[in-house]
Chain A
Amino acid sequence: MALLRLMQLGKRFGGLQAVNDVGFSLRQGVIKAVIGPNGAGKTTLFNLISGALAPTSGEIRFQGKTIQGLKPYRIAALGIARTFQNIKMFAGMTALENVMVGRHVQSGAGFVASMLRTPRSRREEVAIREKALELLDFLGIADCADIEATSLSFGQQRAVELARALALEPKLLLLDEPAAGLNIYETAEVGRLIARIRDLGVTILLVEHDMSLVMDISEEIVVLSFGEKIAEGLPAEIQNNPEVIKVYLGE
């Protein structure tokens, strides 16, 4: 059964059909990439899946359940985590605290328990901290734990954002241009990291411009152009697809 299934998904902004009748599915445990020229509707597609936007038509099924139109926090709670194209750190919080927020769904202390520091909330707090440190370590930025997240380098902030998303223990991870702004070495590193995350059992859907990365790590590729799906297949198929070549290179 497909983990995620998009059916005739559409999103219209006034006169602009940003996503038009897009449908594809994502099997458990694969890395799938969504590519396409600027303005093809890739980020809009992500916002539809994560609940930041509601689709104007079509359906999104996650583990067989319809999720379109749910609030983003509910979709996150179902096990869909995401990163952002332009990194969104929680300013004023350390890298560790940023990742600890990612444990929100996996913990439950409310306002009163938090204020009174009940024994249960303390135990939970210890577990949250341990898990967050473990994730920072997994991403190789454990020594940045106590530094304010917004003062870290770009690459480190990407890693913190990734750790924060993983803290959710997602079944599906949406990565919006994980290699944007990184040099070729950092990009290769991100590629290895994504493969390692997949090996943990997390299914990955990514939007990416860097073709070397996409061809390197993804098992399946969907190509969007002007909001419509123009191709879907294995990397080798996509590379030789005349329609895709036309879109990318012109006639």
Chain B
Amino acid sequence: MKWRNLALLPLFAVIVLVQVLCSATDSIYYLTQLTMSAYYSLLIIGLCVLMGYAGQISMGHAGFFAIGGYLSAALTTRSLVAFQDHTLVRLLHAAGCLSAGQDIYGEPMLVVTPWAACVIAVLTAAVVALLLGIPVLKLKGHYLAMATLGFGIIIYRIVLASSYFGEADGISGVPGFTLLPGLSVNGEFSSRVENYYIAWGVLLLGMLLLRNLINSRAGRALRAIHGSIEAADAVGVDTARFKVYTFVLSAVFAALAGVLLTHYNGGIGPSEAGIMKSVRYVAIVAVGGMANLWGALIMGVVLNFLSLRGLFGSYDDAVFGLILILIMLFAPGGILTLRLGGLWERLRPKAKSGKEGAS
């Protein structure tokens, strides 16, 4: 039990192997899509805990991704020079959260530093998730799906309508995010390998935290909510509170993914906030097998990678819709169970008859 997290080691080996192979075969461009896939997968494993383990659907997670991405993009690019006498801006300045510079025309610029922007963006997503979650998580099934869908639509229309968020153009020219001295999230060609490892490092860390959660007191409580809300209540689980906490946690994962991917891409556009993105994330969690973090991670990386490589062409969203239909029809337990299906059937009766023989 102590070494449970050693299961992450083979994944680490694969990550290194892929990088070495890509570098050796001069196909380092694959690392770009793998980096982006890792960030999307960060959102997806968070959503997996909410949907698969706690049993609460969200059709609006692209909204939290967009809150993270858009806020960090806007805060690090929109100059606050015009507001520099405002108390809030002064406070930020005094706290060292602002950096001064010049724009391309030589005009003075005053923007929020990436670290401060990241904290503000993720906290905002958490607060929004809390305020949204308290009322809507009282709903179940279709009703919860519709309420979260409504939230997703609101965020999409806000970023599309607001000039602060760049309307249909989105925000570009987002600077790099220096996590630690010498370790920067940016889209520069020279730091492609570095960024690949940053993204996968963050994803592995996220995976580690969520795996710990699932096999702990809090994780068992939220899985119990999925199993039977009355029985969870009856053993003293504050089901409403645990549902909201899980919702906030998954929103934080989504927002962080949005922040990091936006710095990596150097910008963000309204399609990241779109409903089809939320549907895609739900589809990937379903393909991965719902209550299966590994399935969510693997499918998150594979399907996003294929999509980003343009394999599905203009039919991208159609393919994800089709995947959702096929999975619901033929492999409601996720695609990993489909492949192992035959093997399971052969192993299962043996194990069972062995038990009966013993008793």
Task: Please list the residues of chain A having a beta carbon within 8 angstroms of any beta carbon in chain B.
Answer: 50-52, 71-73, 76-77, 81-82, 84, 88-93, 97, 100-105, 107-111, 113-117, 121, 124-125, 128, 143, 164-165, 167-168
Q: Is the CB of A89 within 8 A of B228?
A: yes
State how many residues of chain B have any CB contact under 8 Å with chain A. 29
In the bound complex, CA of A128 to CA of B219 (Å): 14
Which chain B positions have C-beta within 8 A of A109? Answer: 216-218
In the bound complex, CA of A117 to CA of B208 (Å): 10
In the bound complex, CA of A71 to CA of B233 (Å): 8
Q: Is the CB of A115 within 8 A of B236?
A: no
Q: Is the CB of A117 within 8 A of B235?
A: no
Q: Is the CB of A91 within 8 A of B233?
A: no
Which are the 8 A-B pairs with shortest beta-carbon distances? Answer: A90-B227, A114-B216, A76-B236, A105-B236, A72-B233, A88-B231, A88-B228, A114-B218
In the bound complex, CA of A101 to CA of B235 (Å): 7
Q: Is the CB of A111 within 8 A of B236?
A: no
Q: For the complex, is B234 an interface residue (Cβ under 8 Å from A)?
A: yes
Q: Is the CB of B212 within 8 A of A73?
A: no
Most buried by B among A91, A92, A101, A165: A101
Quick one: closest B residue to A121, CB to CB? B216
Which chain A positions have C-beta within 8 A of B230? Answer: 52, 72, 84, 88
Quick one: closest B residue to A128, CB to CB? B217
Quick one: closest A residue to B351, CB to CB? A147
Give 27 A-B contacts (CB < 8 Å), ordered by A residue.
A50-B234, A76-B236, A81-B235, A84-B230, A88-B227, A88-B230, A88-B231, A89-B227, A90-B226, A90-B232, A92-B227, A100-B220, A101-B224, A104-B221, A104-B235, A104-B237, A111-B245, A114-B212, A114-B213, A114-B217, A114-B218, A117-B216, A125-B216, A125-B217, A143-B359, A164-B231, A167-B235
Which chain B positions have C-beta within 8 A of A50? Answer: 234
Quick one: closest A residue to B238, CB to CB? A73
Q: Which parts of B192-228 form the interface with A (CB within 8 Å)?
A: 209-210, 212-213, 216-221, 223-224, 226-228
CB contacts between A and B, total, < 8 Å: 110
Quick one: closest A residue to B237, CB to CB? A104
Give the shortest distance, in Å, between A147 (CB) and chain B (any CB). Answer: 8
Give the shortest distance, in Å, between A242 (CB) and chain B (any CB). Answer: 37
**B11-35 toward A: CB 8 Å interface, digit per residue (1/0)?**
0000000000000000000000000
Q: Which parts of B232-252 form the interface with A (CB within 8 Å)?
A: 232-239, 245, 249
In the bound complex, CA of A103 to CA of B237 (Å): 10
In the bound complex, CA of A111 to CA of B126 (Å): 14
Q: Is the CB of A115 within 8 A of B234?
A: no
In the bound complex, CA of A104 to CA of B224 (Å): 11
Q: A89-B228, A90-B224, A93-B224 are in contact. Are A114 and B235 (CB under 8 A)?
A: no
In the bound complex, CA of A143 to CA of B216 (Å): 22
Q: A101-B221, A117-B212, A117-B216 are in contact. Are A164 and B235 (CB under 8 A)?
A: yes
Q: Is the CB of A52 within 8 A of B233?
A: yes
Which chain A positions have C-beta within 8 A of B234? Answer: 50, 52, 72, 76, 81-82, 84, 165
Q: A92-B291, A107-B217 are in contact. Are A84 and B212 (CB under 8 A)?
A: no
Q: Is the CB of A111 within 8 A of B249?
A: yes
From A104, A115, A128, contact of B212 by CB (8 A): A115
Which chain B positions have C-beta within 8 A of A121? Answer: 216-217
Q: Is the CB of A93 within 8 A of B236?
A: no
**B91-118 toward A: CB 8 Å interface, digit per residue (1/0)?**
0000000000000000000000000000
Which chain B positions have C-beta within 8 A of A51? Answer: 233
Which chain A positions have C-beta within 8 A of B227? Answer: 88-93
In the bound complex, CA of A185 to CA of B188 (Å): 74
Which chain B positions have C-beta within 8 A of A84? Answer: 230-231, 234
From A115, A125, A164, A168, contact of B213 by CB (8 A): A115
In the bound complex, CA of A17 to CA of B221 (Å): 35
Q: Is the CB of B226 within 8 A of A92?
A: yes
Most buried by A among B216, B221, B239: B216
Interface contacts beyond A84-B231, A101-B224, A104-B235: sample of 8 additional A-B pairs, CB < 8 Å, sorted by A? A82-B234, A84-B234, A89-B231, A90-B231, A114-B213, A114-B216, A114-B217, A125-B216
In the bound complex, CA of A68 to CA of B153 (Å): 41
In the bound complex, CA of A162 to CA of B245 (Å): 29
In the bound complex, CA of A188 to CA of B263 (Å): 68
In the bound complex, CA of A101 to CA of B228 (Å): 12
In the bound complex, CA of A109 to CA of B224 (Å): 16
Q: Is the CB of B217 within 8 A of A124?
A: yes
